[in-house]
Every structure is written in C-alpha cells, then in structure tokens.
Structure 1
C-alpha cells in the first residue's frame, strides 16, 4: 500500500498544504522531513506520540526523518492550546529535558542505513542569533496581521499574550527554514494544534528561500476517546514514556484496558501492524470480543516499541501473576511495578509477626476478631498461598528477596508489606 493511501486509511491525515504536490513529490523522490517537540518536561507522554510515529512511517518507506527537540523554543513556550503564559524554565532544566526526550525518541526510529534518523536541537542555531538579526532578517518577513490571524494567537488576545510567546511562531518558522536550507528538509509534520506554526514556516521559506522553492506541511488529528474523556490520562495522571514515571507494567495496562470502541482506531494510529492484521483483529472484536485479542496486540506492540521486548515480557508476567494470584513467582523488581499503588505497611525485616496482629496493625482487617475470621475462612493469602492457621507467624521465609510480602484479602484486595 502506498504511504499516503495507508495514512488515509489509518485516519492519520488531518490537514495538508498541497495534497497533489506532496503525492507527486513522494512518487518521484525520497525526501527529508521533520517533526518537533519542545522539552517542557523531561519525558514525553503518549499524547505526543502519533506525529512521531507518522514520521517513522515515512522512514519505513525510505524517507529520512529529522527529529527536532526544541532547546530554544522550549525556553520561550508555545502558546498553542494554552489560555495563559507558560512558566519559563532555566537553560539547565531545558537541556536536561532535551537529553531525556531525545533518548526516548531514539527508540522509535531506525538509527542505521541511508535514511537513518537525524536528531537536532534548535538551540544549536537559534542561540547564535542576536536580536537585530532576528528582527531584520526574519521578523521583517512576517506581518502582524498574518500572525493575528493565527488561532494560537487570536485566541489569546482577550486573556493576554506576551511579546515573547507572540514571537514563538516565527522561531518555529526559522527552524523549518534552517532545516530546508541545511538538510534539504521539504516537509513538516505536527499535531493539529501546530498548523499555524507549520504554515508560518512555509511562508518564511517562500519569502527567503530561492525562487521556486517548495515545501509541505501535514497535521495529525487530535487523539480522542469515544466516551469523551481525555486520551492518555489515568487516575494517576499522564501516561509517560519514562519508565520511572509510568512503569512498563502500568504502560502495558493502559493499552490493554482500551475500550472496544477505541481499540481499532488506536491500532491504526499507534502500531505498525499491517492493514490485514488490523482488519483481522477488528473481526475478532466482533466475533470473540471476550478474548480481547485487539487490546492484547495493541498493548504488546506499544510496550515493545517504547520499552523493549524484555520489559514487555515482564509486564505480561506481572499481569498474569496478578490475574491468577500466583504472585510468588515475581521478583522484587516486578513487585515494585505491579504493586506500586496498593496500600502498604513498613515492617522490620528482622521482626516476626503473628499474622493476626499484622493484619490489624497494617489495617488489612478491622479488628483481631475480624482478622481471625478472615484467616480461618480462607480469605487471607500470603504470597499467593492461602493461610488458615490463626496462629500463623510471619517470618523471613515469607519475604520475597528480603524486601516484600504480598498479602491478599479476598479475591482482589492486595496489600504490600515492605521491609
């Protein structure tokens, strides 16, 4: 399937500046194209992914991706989608964020071959400009009325926008021009909120590049959920790519819990599965939805892409252990992931506990009487094994790697004893 046809089938194309011209260009040559992200945090979250995954689709068809992390524009702040000014970050914080995001995005792209991904930071060229050069060589080409017509700016006129954020679109336009002149970059991809910035870049190329120069822009639709809630958010907050912020297990669980109404769309947006594979999963959703094959495929593809095969297998192992209750097979590292949000109680590793006393002290049972009933009724499990002896004493033998003991009350209520 041709690239643009595949993108249309996946529902990935939202806006294009010249559909026919781009189709002709892609049919005749391999191009360089870019997508950028500002380092407003030290990690991206899954809401940032689709434009970069789209860039990867171009790479898979032989084109060269340029991945820009905006060390300069990150110091300013993109007004897109914001109702008020961003808090400015220090250069040191932004540099740290740049390194974190670049490392994450390196996972997504092929780093070898004729079309290996190029990583760039706009601070490298923007920081060398002085204010006079900026105003004379770039600001002169972008009219105030042109900028006021941009939604990102016009939407802020009532609440207020600083000159700093007002000039952001010019800085991003300078990026496109720089990449066009130095990397023969002929296209920019971005989220739907980036349309104004992309078209400003095309305007700057039209006015400053040699006559006849041609570049293109494409935006990706906002990812939405069928129930109207915000995509990429959980009760714990955003789903980050950084495994320290969102563990591979939590990442896997986010995708596997995708609603039936959303899963096919997400398979198209986020995975590199073929049309035939996705259509087979869609059919499975209609005929054997209880097997959740589509959700499992989505969770496996995404966790493997972002965290690697080993982390994926670990996430699957944790998921299966929690479902079956066979948690004694888990390592301490796996317990940290899988039981991150369960109630916990800290105890001394050298102290033996009468189980009844521990259940009350750790607030697992409401009283000693209730604790004894829970034990004798078979409601209490230690590391996946039922304990029915009310005189049972918890000892070092019940500790997993001298760090944890997992207590379950009933079928689903887990508690973690930390040593």
Structure 2
C-alpha cells in the first residue's frame, strides 16, 4: 500500500516537473509541497515528535519511489533523515523536542555538514573549529558539498573542539540558518541531481548556545559514522529508484520502437540486456531491504550491510541507466527523453556518503 501510494503521488505531482527542474537547475518546490502534504518528507521522525514513526524499510520505499521519477526530489526525504538522525541518535531530549517537531510538520528541512574542502573521504581531517565561550560555542570554518544548503533551516555541523584528539576531538552541533554569521556559497554546477542545491556553508564567528551540542563533547565523529551506517541505505534506495525508472522507461520504448519490421524488443540481444538489468535491480533491492531491516534492528553487521547496499545498488544504477541510454540509441542521448538525466543522476550515488572505493574499505574492515 505504501509503495502504491508514493508511486501514485510521485507520478502525478513530481514526475511532470522533473525535466524542467533538471533543465533549470532549480529546487523542486512542487515535490516538497507534495511530500509535506502527504507526510512523506520525513517519515523517519518518531510519533512522539509529531512524525509518522516509519521504520527504515518504509523510508527506503519512499525514497526509492520518488527517485524513480526524480532523483533530485528524492533527496528531500533522504537528506532530512541524514541531517536529523544525529539528533535522534545522540541528542538530548530537549534538543529533540526543539527540532524534530518542526521537521515532522514540514516547517523546516535538515542538512548534514561533514565534508570540507580538504576533508572529504578523510572526514577526520576537518578544520572547522568550535571554541567554548561561557554558555556558548563559537564556530568558524567552511563545509563543502552540503545538500540542500540554503533551503534547509537546520544544519547538523561537525566541528573540532579539541585539535589534539583528532576524531575524538570532534563534536556535533545544530546550527540554524538564521544564526548570525551563517552564509552560503553559490550553487555548484553539477553533472546531475541539478534540482538539489549543493553549496558551501560558511561559519563566521557563529555563536550558538551550548545546549545545541549533540551528545557529549568529543563524540561528534562517532555520531557521524553511526549516522552514515543507517543513511547509506537511503542512497542505495535512491540508486534503486533511478535504476527502476530507467528500466521501466526502456521496457516501454523497446516495445514501441520498430526496426527491420518489428519491435526492437523482439530481438534477443536486447532481451538479454533487459533481463540483466532487471536481475541486477532485483539483487540490489534484496540487499538494500536486508540492510534496512538491519538498520531497524540495530544489528551488529549494519556497518557492513549499509556499505554493501550503497556500493552494490549504486554500481547497478550506473550500469542500468547506461544500458537504458543504449537501448534508446540516439534518442537516449538527448534531453527529450528522461534516461540521459537518469544516467547523470545515477553517477552521484557512487560518490556521495562515501565513494564506492571507501565503501569497499568499510566492508573489508567489517566483514560479517
């Protein structure tokens, strides 16, 4: 029922704007409005804070079905979870009560600030500083590659509070868009997911109350890594969705396109391609749903499964969307058809929340 409901909504309210959102690189406001109206923008928020209280698998299905028609729009529920999960994992009751209800109502979005210009895969090498000043912390630094920056009201920010302790000297904070000293860079000019703004976030003597720290001082990096164990699965869901969208479109195309007097879908060579695409998506979906179940239960092998799902599903998404372009031939290479957008969008799933090379390192270190 959930999948059918989200698919119907996505096809009616999000899909019609997907091409134009991509073409003009604008935020998909129609998607946000539709998702908020149907309580699908942040389904992971617990009921006690006004949320739907959906489990990890339900969140995956929502993201998957939105990504099937518009990958940019799927980053609304995905990044709301990414940004707010540190608060849910390690935040005080007061912090949860302050920020989660607004997210649940759709009054605010949440973003996640970990990466920096010189700290990408090596997130522990970050330089953003937070210095204690009485009952406040003062933040200075730059975060890069921040999804939905400038649109979100709230930001989970990792900053160094004790430079001598490396990762154990990193703490997490909630920063608000309206805090004095917060500003944003120009949107990045990206290959894909053009409807989701990606910007630098600047912190210039941003003074915030001490109670905005998430968890204890020095636990921010551990919270960040725990968060990624859960949210890498949402990237797998996004990859699944865009792959399924490409397969669905390619199936329809090969049934209608005729060459040599018959539909090209009747040719065995193309049938083999479609079979392989479907098989790989099915395998990726099984692994992603297994990881979602592990996320919900908090299983010991979650780190491995989250990395494996993200890595495998995103590799499948890149293969499937590329094959979809091939099946459409010259038409697939034009913006008149959606598969070239899907191929461009799929590429980022192999890169963000840890490149797939990093995922393989994570898997090797956490073999079940």
Report the TM range for the smaller structure's normalisation: under 0.3
Higher relative contact order (CA 8 A, sep 6+): 2
- Rg bigger for which structure? 1
TM-score in terms of structure 1 length: 0.24
TM-score in terms of structure 2 length: 0.26
Higher helix share: 2
